Structure 1
Amino acid sequence: MSEPTVADAPEPASVDVLVTEVIRRPVEVVAAYANDPSNAPEWYANISSVEWKTPPPVGVGSEVAFVATFLGRELRYTYAIVERTAQSLVMRTAEGPFPMETTYRYEALPDGSTRMSLRNRGNPSGFSKVAAPLMRFAMKRATSADLRALKAILERES
């Protein structure tokens, strides 16, 4: 077997945003709600609609189309679920304006709360590539607000 070359190495993401939030609910409650794409418009401020391309529930191989607004532009993209465990969910764009991966991770805390992390990373192209620094800032701000909204929803339901 030959050694991998630099050309074989994945290109580093030009946008990589990670935010975390502690939610005073058990992991299974947080994961069940956050992992269901149908709930996305309730806690993602920029997502206006969700359409299942494959039948629910969510699992590896599921595809879900989203309509969102970001930086004043409407975006339409389809995510494919590539990993789902009790501690994580990973989605990658199957169709959309640029390759993106979104990862949810859940960590049970000793007091019964959950530390949820949400990471978005990808490689914008075209104008989006030029605007990557602005995109990072805007994504961090939006993602932080989205996790705070998720926290408020789930803690209100307890």
Structure 2
Amino acid sequence: MVDVQVETVINRPRAVVADYAGNPENAPEWYANIKRVRWVTEPPLSRGSRIAFSAEFLGRELDYTYEFVEFVPGEVLVMRTSQGPFPMQTTYRWEDHGAGTRMTLRNTGKPSGFSKLAALVMAPMMKRAMTKDLRRLKAVLEAPEA
């Protein structure tokens, strides 16, 4: 089992952080590996929504579809994919932290086959990538407005 969690404090109100980070269409702006997003079901986002992502990881293009299994606006968003050799679940949590917001990003998955061996190497790589993604999200949301 791979279980990687990172968090950061963003100096913006929780509603602003959750609205931006929880909108799948913004993912390519703050996730380094995500290149494209396409709605499979009609917006708006709700439990049961499905979104197709195209990402680049370890030099390969990956296409996968997440289903949103829990969504409480401003509090938690949980999405899951069962495709491929490495099914994943991604969880966002938002909490008030002083005048800002603590955002937690967690990825869990249970690899099968060859991916079981790769999981030992993947967890540290995922942690680095997730930390960079949250750093980018923080920079985007804390940037002075033009």
Partner of 1:148: 135
Residue range with higher mean Cα deviation, 123-132 or 29-38 = 123-132
What's the TM-score once normalised by structure 2's chain length?
0.94
Counterparts of 1:138 and 1:30, CA distance in 2: 25
Counterparts of 1:32 and 1:117, CA distance in 2: 15
1:81 aligns with 2:71: no
After TM superposition, the runs of 4+ consecutive aligned structure 1 residues lying more than 6 A away are: none
Contact (CA 8 Å) 1:80, 1:94: kept in 2 or not? no
Q: Percent identity?
A: 60
Partner of 1:56: 43
Aligned residues: 144
Partner of 1:100: 88
Deviation, 1:74, is 1.6
Unaligned ranges ≥5, structure 1: 1-13
Residue range with higher mean Cα deviation, 56-65 or 88-97 = 88-97
Q: What does 1:106-145 correspond to in 2, within 5 Å?
A: 106-110=94-98, 112-145=99-132
Which secondary structure does the structure 2 equivalent of 1:152 belong to?
helix
Which residue identity lines up with residue 65 of structure 1 in the other structure? A
Partner deviation per Cα, 1:61-109 (whole Å, 9 max, x = no partner): 1000101111222211100001111311000115344211000000101
Counterparts of 2:52 and 2:43, CA distance in 1: 13
Unaligned ranges ≥5, structure 2: none
Deviation, 1:37, is 0.5
Contact (CA 8 Å) 1:102, 1:121: kept in 2 or not? yes
Contact (CA 8 Å) 1:36, 1:57: kept in 2 or not? no
Structure 1 vs Structure 2 CA RMSD: 1.2
1:33 corresponds, among 20, 38, 42, to 20
Contact (CA 8 Å) 1:101, 1:120: kept in 2 or not? yes
Contact (CA 8 Å) 1:46, 1:70: kept in 2 or not? yes
Which secondary structure does the structure 1 equivalent of 2:139 belong to?
helix
Contact (CA 8 Å) 2:7, 2:102: kept in 1 or not? yes
Partner of 1:11: none
Partner of 1:9: none
Counterparts of 1:74 and 1:15, CA distance in 2: 21
Which has more radius of gyration? 1
